[in-house]
Amino acid sequence: MTRVLVIGAGPAGLAAAAAAADAGARVTLLDSGDGLGGQYWRHLPPQRPSRREARLHHGWKHFQHLQARVRDRVEVITEAQVWAIETAGGTTARVLIGPSDAAGRESRRLTADAVVLAPGAHDRTLPFPGWHLPGVYSAGAAQALAKGERIRVGRKVVVAGAGPFLLPVAQSLTGAGATVLGVYEAARLPAIARGWLPRPQRLLRTAHKGRELAGYAFHHLSRRVPYRLGRAVVEARGDGRVEEAVIARLDADWAPIPGTERTVAADAVCVSHGFTPRLELPIAAGCAIGPDRFVQVDADQRTSVPGVYAAGEITGIGGVDAALVEGRIAGHRAAGGDPAALAGDRRLRRATTDLARRIEAAHGIRPGWTSWLRDDTVVCRCEEVPYGRLRDTAAATGQSALRSVKLTTRAGLGICQARMCGRTVEELTGASTGDPCDTSDRRPLAAPIRLGDLAELATAPNGDSA
């Protein structure tokens, strides 16, 4: 019996696990969190049951159905942090199981004939003056806290950044009783039209997403949440925490237009400009990364490494429909399922890649944003490296390799291992080798791990208990 390991239990991983089980494989599904559903279906824990939790979600029934199928037929291991992956002679994942960041977690080595990587993505927030203040959140944080904990990050909240994801974030906030003062989208109308208007028949084919987006638009109209294009939060101000946000109009390149700044009183500011795929595991597995810095896959979701499949946001930011269909294809093929059974899913997948292109065309980051930075704007949050020092050091030493920029400025060397600032540092310093494997996405360990644990794992005779 084929053994399939699925890493990540968001929409893509759940769909992959279910499809692999349907195709007859013995499946193990891992997630670092203690529940299933990933960030998209982030939900309340079992200790806090709610009768109408479905109201916080899209496709909640589909999630519950997938979850039931998976729980029934798949070995599910939650709180499982994969910290290394090896692909010589089948796949071996090294996993720590237990509460996050706890010392002395159970160590296991899991082997499989094929693996489906579905780790997802996290928000990318461009730095701006004051973004380090408490009360400034990534948009994803505001949503995760609202859906997963019923926390509202503020009572008067500004949502800003770029992309359709800002709309469900605002909806989650108003659904938790916060007042959303406005959603400020950096893209201007011509870019939005360029991205979203051509070939509307294709957009309709991804019917779920179309309905979901229409739902948000209606929600905003009915709640009178202003949705403003061509605007950005260019500064957050406050004494020890956010008290106000400065909003400016942007030109087509996202450079703020002087004289258009407006200050609003707010106790939370939620900002995201897109997503960064979590590439640690695919890079560790040796998968080819494309020039767009997503994992390259073929029509079967196969990566360049035999036996390694990828699905969901690490192959392109395509939303939940793309993640689900990619997961189904990946799981089915990883299990050795008949490719002829996939005709319908392949058609659907082609339609969803169209959505990723639209999002990039309409909301992709434009270079003018750097003009809202000041010399003292923190770029690397961990090491608190300000923009002026980063720029001057990179210029003075004529650096081009990312590694030397990092070592000289310390940007990206802090505890988050450049997960927050890596791509921004590359852009601001021009430090890029052009080699997609030699970027800030590359990390020696796929997940943070205590040095004590690492030493123990390295010296233990078999390395593991399993």
Partner 1 sequence: MSDIVPWGADPIRPAEPRPLRLTVDGETVEGLQGQSIAGVLLAQGRTAWRSTTAGRPRGVFCGIGVCFDCVATVNGESDVRLCLRRAADGDAVETQDDHDSAEGARP
Write out the residues near partner 1 by the rule CB under 8 A: 32-34, 39, 44-53, 55-56, 99-103, 122-123, 132-138, 140-142, 144-145, 149-155, 175-177, 240-241, 267-268, 381-382, 384, 414-416, 419-420, 448
Quick one: which H or E segment has residue 211? helix 207-223
Alpha carbon 446 to its chain centroid, in Å, reads 15
Of the pair 141, 342, the CB lying nearest partner 1 is at 141
Q: Quote the CA–CA distance of 447 and 459 in Å, as a whole number.
A: 19
Q: Shortest Cβ distance from residue 180 to partner 1 (Å)? A: 15
Q: Shortest Cβ distance from residue 201 to partner 1 (Å)? A: 36
Contact between 254 and 145 (Cβ < 8 Å)? no
Q: Shortest Cβ distance from residue 239 to partner 1 (Å)? A: 10
Q: Shortest Cβ distance from residue 379 to partner 1 (Å)? A: 13
Amino acid at 421: C
Of the pair 142, 356, the CB lying nearest partner 1 is at 142
Of the pair 103, 396, the CB lying nearest partner 1 is at 103
Amino acid at 180: V
Q: Are strands 121-123 and 275-277 parallel, antiparallel or unpaired?
A: antiparallel
Q: Are strands 244-249 and 262-265 parallel, antiparallel or unpaired?
A: antiparallel
Q: Shortest Cβ distance from residue 390 to partner 1 (Å)? A: 15
Cβ-based neighbours of 219, under 8 Å, separated by 6 or more: 167, 171, 174, 225
Of the pair 152, 366, the CB lying nearest partner 1 is at 152
Contact between 387 and 127 (Cβ < 8 Å)? yes
Q: Could you identify the residue written with the tokens 């499809």?
A: 19
To the nearest 10 degrees (0 to 180), the angle between helices 422-429 and 402-409 is 100
Q: Quote the CA–CA distance of 261 and 391 in Å, as a whole number.
A: 25
Q: Quote the CA–CA distance of 296 and 274 in Å, as a whole number.
A: 19
Q: Shortest Cβ distance from residue 220 to partner 1 (Å)? A: 18
- Backbone conformation region of residue 452, classed left if phi is above 0, alpha if psi is from -120 to 50, else beta: alpha
Of the pair 80, 144, the CB lying nearest partner 1 is at 144
Of the pair 210, 414, the CB lying nearest partner 1 is at 414
| Residue (of 49, 51, 237, 236) closest to 161 by Cα position | 236
CA distances from 272 to 82, 184, 364 (A): 26, 11, 12
Q: What are the φ and ψ backbone dihedral angles of 96, each rounded to 5 degrees?
A: -110, 130
Of the pair 319, 422, the CB lying nearest partner 1 is at 422
Of the pair 39, 370, the CB lying nearest partner 1 is at 39
Q: Shortest Cβ distance from residue 31 to partner 1 (Å)? A: 12
Of the pair 15, 385, the CB lying nearest partner 1 is at 385
Of the pair 124, 366, the CB lying nearest partner 1 is at 124
Of the pair 153, 405, the CB lying nearest partner 1 is at 153
Q: Shortest Cβ distance from residue 207 to partner 1 (Å)? A: 26
**347: its two tokens:** 């058609």
Q: Shortest Cβ distance from residue 415 to partner 1 (Å)? A: 4
Q: Shortest Cβ distance from residue 99 to partner 1 (Å)? A: 6
Of the pair 273, 419, the CB lying nearest partner 1 is at 419
Q: Shortest Cβ distance from residue 42 to partner 1 (Å)? A: 8
Q: Quote the CA–CA distance of 176 and 167 in Å, as a whole number.
A: 14
Contact between 412 and 440 (Cβ < 8 Å)? yes
Q: Shortest Cβ distance from residue 136 to partner 1 (Å)? A: 7
Q: Quote the CA–CA distance of 253 and 190 in Å, as a whole number.
A: 12
Concatenating the DSSP letter of every residue in 374-429 gives -TT-EEETTTTEEHHHHHHHHHHTT--SHHHHHHHH-TT-STTTTTTTHHHHHHHH
